[in-house]
Chain A
């Protein structure tokens, strides 16, 4: 029995699979949106991420405040001591968030 055609078919199949696999690998690593963050951060479509896992969210003690002033900083007494950042506003009080209603375009 001549086994050559069988061996050749197997070789063809292996070549085909190898070529497909190689192409798939190339595609998986190409194009926008497939970059990997590595480390603790994973990348989805290039526009999102996961953070390192946290356990319990920090407890906010009384007096821990996060929001802005709403009244132009009434009661604000400044805070222009030595800082790593640059201060230029002098005695001007802190602004608040925008208050205007949305316009109709």
Chain B
């Protein structure tokens, strides 16, 4: 580019050179900014499909996936891999480390690493994804019935459409319309998720809320006076329970708790401790004839262990 077409004074030449330098500087800056934008706005990595090959199954109200946000991915993988034999496939999702966990080739969970800032006191937790046919319609219903939208409906390539809510009592859950269909209704193998509980301040009103969203049949199960235990069913299968918060509830907020099937709850709690986790509720016999326990991984994320003795369960006909 020629700066001078006609002879000019030195001030004029200097001014012209300055203008050129300025334009070049801005151009360089914009190119640099564009470079950053390109690098940072990379699309989310393709998460694995929930079901492969894709199916036409849909089970509204079923917990079809769980995800953990952890401040220490390496520690989480070591813990869950050591405990359940999960294997992991690493990927980048939106600039964050994501690990797809599987067991015997079946996806069991997603792990996301998000560092906690110094002084940030938050509880790592497993997030339950409940199947719906229409995330946007569920979003509307949830809001109309007192839920708080934590993350608006959005698409995840290859995974489907999802949204995250806090129910009226504060328990956080997600809904997902899987683009590959929902996992089939089968007995969980040891190391897979088998059950979910909503532990909350008022199971009765919570049940009404979730019934609105997922059209659950709800059964009241016998329990101690003042401690309600409800069961949510869809497709004629038990999908989840709802329990009153334990009596010392002041320090435990309403939450969803998911349980992994194990062969021996007591042995697994010992293994949890050996791997750096904690036992929050010691093994105890439960309604179905197997022991349950609540444990936490090394970052503090709670989850349950549940034995399910090998005899066939019964499906009750309508």
Contacts and interface: CB of A to CB of B under 8 A. Distances in A.
Is chain A's binding surface mostly helix, strand, loop or mixed? loop
Contacts of B124: 50-51
A100 B247 CA distance: 37
Interface in A8-53: 8-9, 11-13, 15-20, 22-24, 26-28, 30-35, 37, 40-53
B6 to A, nearest CB: 21
B251 A55 contact: yes
Contact of B123 (A17, A52, A81): A52
- Most chain B beta carbons < 10 A, residue from A17, A56, A66, A98: A66
Contacts of A40: 122
A47 B156 contact: yes
Contacts, number: 329
Given A28-B40, A70-B289, A95-B237, A16 B231 contact: no
B3 interface: no
Is chain B's binding surface mostly helix, strand, loop or mixed? mixed
Contacts of B26: 12, 15-16, 19
B219 A49 contact: no
B137 interface: no
Interface of A: 2, 4-5, 8-9, 11-13, 15-20, 22-24, 26-28, 30-35, 37, 40-73, 75-81, 83-89, 92-103, 105
25 contacts: A5-B18, A9-B21, A16-B25, A19-B30, A20-B32, A26-B37, A47-B127, A49-B127, A51-B125, A59-B247, A61-B227, A64-B243, A66-B197, A66-B286, A66-B292, A67-B286, A68-B287, A70-B288, A70-B289, A70-B311, A76-B221, A78-B220, A83-B220, A96-B315, A96-B316
